[in-house]
Amino acid sequence: DAAAIRSILSLAPVVPVIILDDVSQARPLAEALVAGGLPILEVTLRTPNALRVMEEMAKVTGAIVGSGTVRNATHMKQSVDAGCRFMVSPGISPRILDAADDIGIPLLPGIATPSEAMTAAERGYSFLKFFPAEANGGAPVLKAFASPLPDITFCPTGGIDPAKARIYLGLSNVICVGGSWIMPGDALAANDFGRIEALAREAAALRG
Ligand code: 3PG
């Protein structure tokens, strides 16, 4: 419900969007992100080992793990079984909204237009992901949503860097942003979790 997703999304200004297949990196990555001040972790269902990555990350003290790229009821059940506390979908469909009604953890549904935002709002959602944020026009679009859709709060995701994140976080209808810039591919490949922790710390300070 809205209170549940609000309390999660209020905990940090940035939600790392994680695409990881190497299960051995799951715990050190989650530990680095939590230590840097980003406890909310979205693990996308885009790799063969994503569910095992979630299970490992959910064991890290302070980490609140959610599933991303959720497309159907099976993904939702798998997410709960893996210890997820929330779910994120790239879009809305009648079936995914029906399935979410039967699951005990909240969904952050993705939308790109006012019509989709209105459809989600009619189903009781007041917190939505704006996706893909930059490709859809970025902060000026969300700013334009604020007056006609005053009851809806957004987490923009897609194409965001620290400078853009700061602009989104200055909007009245943005609670947090999502992004992958905190985990550069070369840092992950080198197991450079110190660099990732430093990037997380900078991201955690973006709303200050
Ligand atoms: C994604 O689709 O992977 C997320 O929206 C993150 O996007 P980003 O990699 O552009 O931050």
CB of 184 shorter than 6 A to ligand 1: no
Q: How far is the CA of 178 from the centre of ligand 1 (A)?
A: 7
**Which of 27, 12, 17, 71 is CA-nearest to residue 191?**
27
Total-model pTM: 0.97
ipTM exceeds 0.95: no
pLDDT average, residue stretch 92-103: 97
Please check the confidence at residue 208 and state whether its pLDDT lies above 70: no
With the C-alpha atoms ordered 50, 13, 34, 2, is the resulting torsion angle positive or negative? negative
pLDDT in tens, 146-160: 999 999 999 999 999
Please check the confidence at residue 196 and state whether its pLDDT lies above 90: yes
Share of the chain above pLDDT 90, in %: 99
Ligand 1, atom 2: nearest CA belongs to which residue?
A: 158
Q: How far is the CA of 132 from the centre of ligand 1 (A)?
A: 8
Q: Please give the CATH number for the structural domain made up of 2-204.
A: 3.20.20.70
pLDDT in tens, 27-71: 999 999 999 999 999 999 999 999 999 999 999 999 999 999 999
Q: How far is the CA of 89 from the centre of ligand 1 (A)?
A: 12
pLDDT in tens, 143-192: 999 999 999 999 999 999 999 999 999 999 999 999 999 999 999 999 99
